Each structure stands twice: as structure tokens, then as C-alpha cells.
Homo-oligomer: A and B are copies of this chain.
Amino acid sequence: MGRKRLQSDGDGRPTVHTVAARAGVSIASASRVLSGIGGSAETIRRVREAAAAVGYVPNAIARSLQSSRTDLIALAVEDIGNPVYVAMMRAIEAVVADSGRQLVVHATGGRVASETALLRRLAHRYADGMIISPIRVTDAHLEAIVDSPAPVVVIGQLPADAPVDNVRTDSRQGIALAVEHLVAQGRERIGFLNGPLDTVPGSARDAGFRAALAAHGIEHDERLVEVGDFQYGAGRAAAERLLARAEPDALVCANDLIAVGALHALLVADRKVPHDVALVGMDDTVAVQMAYPQISSVSLGSETRGALAARLLLERIADPDLPPRRETVAPRLVVRASSRPEVNP
């Protein structure tokens, strides 16, 4: 028999043509039965039987081309190993999987070029939409997001007038919660371990710390502030530097990894936590729950923000004409042993 290399060819994976031929119906009828719309009882039976017999499974790509949907959702974060992004990713994955879609992850390394490149690639329609959590927001970002032909939801701070779906939290207020909690305990020399000031979270937290001190009539003392990366090692080193030159009775940390690093620096320096120095982190990730003593932390609702962002995105995909929305998740202080003297760790 001549190999005509037609769709209904014998070898290769079965297509709707194969099924139709075997069932003795047209591809239209086969397709209708397989998508569950219409067909006489007899046709349905024959098509179902044929499909089962040849092990037919529809081709997702061809379907996508027709419907211009991929059922994929992209997520772009700086580092998929950072616990706060892991928490977000988990929450997002759950929502996305619930909607029958799948999650594509990208690690951008925080590079602006790589993030804008991803946004441009979205135009290829490889995904139905994207959730992005940029650590720095440049004009290039904003432009790429606004111009994107596919829906984008941003997790993080954006200019107030940006017409972009946006989930944010108020880390300034989060820092205020931490400071307030420490002041209420009579702490007077509150240190601050921050991340880079040229990042969105770093600058917000810096502003929050200054405002919170002012609100309680405490003077801002440069010697009680250190800046490093948002990492364990950097936090530990920053705490060591700070302890070498000052005597804080409390430390506020810009994220949990810094807080764990600070805890270890304190233990090495033989400061009792919380007796000598109270400690508060930020993000409320597993990192502080698995520290000993457990570290108090300001929850910025990573899971909530992730889930919310995913839902916003799904809603916008369903209805692209929605007005831009902005959701804010309130920070919440979770008090643990590291800042609660009266409780035995």
C-alpha cells in the first residue's frame, strides 16, 4: 500500500481523523462527540468506542491554535528558592491547578532585561497570562506590562496611576507593627537590618522604620541600622557588624532570612533572645517557624497575595474588559518566642 502520509495514516498517534474513520463518521461528528456537544445515540456510541479502541487523546496544541488559549499561566519571580516566593508559588499553583490550568515558572534573577524579555515573549501567546513580582520596578517594566497583549498581574508596589491589576501589601505598616510591639515592651534601642535601598521592598521598609520611630518619638540612630542583602548570610554579617558597635535591645529585620541570620549572630555573641535582644522578622515564612527559638514575624500574607493574584488573573482572562483592580493585603504581626519574654520557648 502506498504511503500517502495523510492525517488518517496508520502509524503515528491517532487523531480525530483516525477515530472518525474507524467509527465510520466524519471528523466533524467525531469532534462533536469528543467535545460532548451533539450527536445521535448511535454516533456517540461508535465514536466513543473507536476513540477508546485506538487510545485517542486530543492534541492540546491544535486545540490551542483553534481556541487561542493555552491553559498555561506564567509566574515570574526573582528566585524560586526564596521561601517567600515558594509560599506564593504554592498558593498560586493551587488556584491555577484548580482552574484546570498549569503553571509555568520563570526565575528572573531580578534582572530587568530578563523580566521585560519574558513580558515580550508573552506576546507569542505561550501562556494565557502572567503573574510577575518584580523586585525593582523600572519604566521599562511598566511600559512592557501596559503594552502586553496578554493579561498581567503584578504582585508588589506600583505607581498609583498604573492601569495594571495589582496585589500589594503595606510593608511600611508592617514595620510599624513590629516597632509598636517592641516599644510596648519597653524596648528603647531598636535596631534595623534592611535589604538594599534601591529595591522596592528595601526602600519601603526603610521609610516605614523611620516613620514608626518618629511616631513613637524615638530618634533615628544611624548606628542601629545596617543594610545588606535579603539573605541569611548577609543578615548574619549585618547583625555582627551592628553588634560590634552598638547595644540594641531589639532588632527589626526586613525579612525572615535576615532574621534567622541575626538570631545566629546573637546566639554567637551570647545575647539572650528575647531577654537581652528581642527579634522580629518579616514575611512569616517557614524559616522563622523552624528557627529556635521561634522568631516573631510580620506576615505580609504571601499565600494570600499569591492566591489573590491568581484569582485576579483568572478573572481578567475570563473578562478582559474589567477595569484595573488593586487589592491590598494588610500585614499582621505573629508573635513568637523571640519577642515574647514571658513565654518559655
In the complex, the answer to whether A57 meets B97 with C-beta atoms within 8 Å is: no
Binary CB contact string for chain A from 55 to 85 against chain B (1 if under 8 A, 0 otherwise): 0011111101100101010100001110000
User: How many angstroms from the CA of A31 to the CA of B87 in the assembled complex?
Assistant: 43
Identical subunits present: 2
In the complex, the answer to whether A86 meets B81 with C-beta atoms within 8 Å is: yes
User: How many angstroms from the CA of A232 to the CA of B232 in the assembled complex?
Assistant: 20
Size category of the A interface is 35 or more
Q: Which of A79, A104, A345 has the most CB of B within 10 A?
A: A104
In the complex, the answer to whether B97 meets A90 with C-beta atoms within 8 Å is: no
Nearest CB on B from A79, distance (A)? 8
User: How many angstroms from the CA of A124 to the CA of B268 in the assembled complex?
Assistant: 56
Partner among B64, B70, B105, B263 whose Cβ is within 8 Å of the Cβ of A103: B105
User: How many angstroms from the CA of A13 to the CA of B68 in the assembled complex?
Assistant: 12
* A264 nearest CB neighbor, chain B only: B292
In the complex, the answer to whether B70 meets A81 with C-beta atoms within 8 Å is: no
User: How many angstroms from the CA of A70 to the CA of B104 in the assembled complex?
Assistant: 12
In the complex, the answer to whether B106 meets A72 with C-beta atoms within 8 Å is: no
Residues on A lying within 8 angstroms of B by beta carbon are 13, 57-62, 64-65, 68, 70, 72, 74, 79-81, 86-87, 89-90, 93-94, 97, 102-107, 120, 123-126, 149, 232, 257, 260, 263-264, 267-268, 286-287, 289-292, 345
Name the 7 nearest CB pairs between A and B, nearest first. A60-B124, A60-B126, A57-B123, A264-B292, A61-B64, A61-B65, A81-B90
